Structure 1
Amino acid sequence: MVSSSTDTQEVLMEIRNVDKAFGGVKAVDNVSMDLRAGIITTLVGPNGAGKTTLFNLITGELTKDSGTIKWLGQPINRIKPFKAARAGILRTFQDLRLFNEMSVEENVLTSVEANSVPAPMTKSQRTARSEKVEYALNRAGLFSKRNIRAKDLAYAERKFLSMARVMATDARLWLLDEPASGLDPNSYEKFLEILREEVKQGVTVCIIEHNLDIVIGISDRIAFLDRGKLLADDEPQTVLNDPELRAIYFGERT
């Protein structure tokens, strides 16, 4: 295969020959891929392709059956979710998992504290933490609503709160599971702008997305999964112009 421009980026995560089965069904089937620094890799494929399962294997929500995963060159094969977060790997979930009775600001602050190594904080560290929270709330457009309970936000605001919880941390790799699903056009344009700006500042993103407009608008690289298998991992136009992959994507397989 001819190397693409993204192939020269530093590899942050190496995924090699990873398998996961539920009963007799292979949810992830011998998947090997790299997540490279400073780009947005989009996982696409039909429902049941194994995309969320792969996220769960990376972060330790599930234990893989075989294969290896390395983060910054070190194996993380049996990592726990909280240790993955503290190592700089954070994710969002389709169901958001917000603390509904807490305020917007408390939700973000809780995320920062949960993903830090427990230790007494100095005054300068507390100041830095507050600045991170304020930054995230401003970027997500939620600073004016910082004292409102999470459950009282509109749907799009709840989605942006989930993003703010990640933005306030020092995570180097973001795993985003359909973060823009259900957003109106104006909101998802705002979402794309936030994501592009964060990547410019050094964040690496792997995102699960079904909205083709977002896939086209945000991806530096696309990994195409189907029935647990990785069918393609290349630059967007190469993947999107493949007639067989398009047929699978649009449910027109023979």
Structure 2
Amino acid sequence: MTEVSLRCADLARAFGGLQAVAGVSLALYAGQVTALVGPNGAGKTTTFNLITGNLRADSGTAEIRGKPIMGLKPWQVARLGVARSYQDLRLFTHMTVRENVLAATEVSAWFWQPGGRRAQQEREHRAEAALDATGLTSLADARAVDLAYAERKFLSMARILAAEAHIWLLDEPASGLDLASRIRFGSLLKEAQTRGVAICLIEHNLDVVVELSNRIAFLDQGRVLAEGDPDTILKDPALAAIYFGDRPQEAA
């Protein structure tokens, strides 16, 4: 097994009487894609939020390359090499495409940055490389709000590329993409794997899961029910019944 980039153990979070995450343990490996699969409400996005510090866990641990991260703020987790995408994308809609990507390279909130002109040129180079990789160079001066949906998806990926993170947490990154865009998205992930990026994606399109993932963690009701290779997990009839909402009725 390759290097563990991120490991969490027994993560739990409740909202009132609802136990959204109930003891999730997960490892993400360098150069591999892990898919979180499960029905709606299984706790997948909440797990991402606990890892990134967007939500505080009630209990459990998480570490990046052996460094504990529980209790850190989202920006602190990001500086440790974690990049995150969201279902609602969260772009700076009235900034240009280039400005959106450049924002992902900034290391502080100040108007000036350490390193002087050379560092600024390096950030600009990273941004341009990310635009090229995602096919957005010709749209660099367009506002994000004026992009088509698929282009916005790739802008979100360009921001992640420019950040040079070694852990990617992607929440439904391929939803709404046509076949050609899905192929281009898959190429981005495969190239990142060759650089040792650990990728975890939440995805409801099982064709995408089969094509791109090395491992699946199947979640239901806030717990990991099974882990393994895609073929084994997706052919399990009990897991399929849970995924498609065909659970056996409990006895009265």
Q: TM-score range by the shorter chain?
A: over 0.9
Deviation at 1:121, TM superposition (A): 2.2
TM-score calculated relative to the size of structure 1? 0.94
**1:118-197 matched pairs, under 5 angstroms:** 119-197=113-191
Q: Secondary structure at the match of 1:79?
A: coil
1:86 and 2:74 matched: no
Q: Secondary structure at the match of 2:210?
A: helix
Following the alignment from structure 1 to structure 2, what is the Cα–Cα distance between the partners of residues 249 and 200?
31
Task: Choose which of 16, 20, 23 in structure 2 pairs with 1:23.
Answer: 16
The gaps in structure 1 that reach 5 residues or longer are 1-7
Q: Number of residues paired by the alignment?
A: 247
Per-residue CA deviation, residues 129-162 of structure 1 (Å, 9 max, x unaligned), is 1111011000110001100000011110000000
Deviation at 1:43, TM superposition (A): 0.4
What is the identity percentage for the equivalent residue pairs of Structure 1 and Structure 2?
53
Deviation at 1:201, TM superposition (A): 2.0
Task: Choose which of 216, 241, 246 in structure 2 pairs with 1:247.
Answer: 241
Partner of 1:105 in structure 2?
Answer: 98
Deviation at 1:190, TM superposition (A): 1.1
TM-score calculated relative to the size of structure 2? 0.94
Contact (CA 8 Å) 2:30, 2:193: kept in 1 or not? no
Runs in 1 of length 4+ with deviation above 6 angstroms? 115-118
Task: Choose which of 49, 57, 61 in structure 2 pairs with 1:64.
Answer: 57
Partner of 1:200 in structure 2?
Answer: 194
Amino acid at match of 2:14: A
Contact (CA 8 Å) 1:222, 1:236: kept in 2 or not? yes
Amino acid at match of 1:213: D
The gaps in structure 2 that reach 5 residues or longer are none
Contact (CA 8 Å) 1:88, 1:173: kept in 2 or not? yes
Following the alignment from structure 1 to structure 2, what is the Cα–Cα distance between the partners of residues 114 and 75?
21
Task: Choose which of 27, 37, 47 in structure 1 pairs with 2:30.
Answer: 37
Contact (CA 8 Å) 1:86, 1:115: kept in 2 or not? no
Amino acid at match of 2:157: M
Following the alignment from structure 1 to structure 2, what is the Cα–Cα distance between the partners of residues 36 and 114?
26
Contact (CA 8 Å) 1:85, 1:115: kept in 2 or not? no
Following the alignment from structure 2 to structure 1, what is the Cα–Cα distance between the partners of residues 174 and 107?
24
Amino acid at match of 2:91: L
Deviation at 1:127, TM superposition (A): 2.1
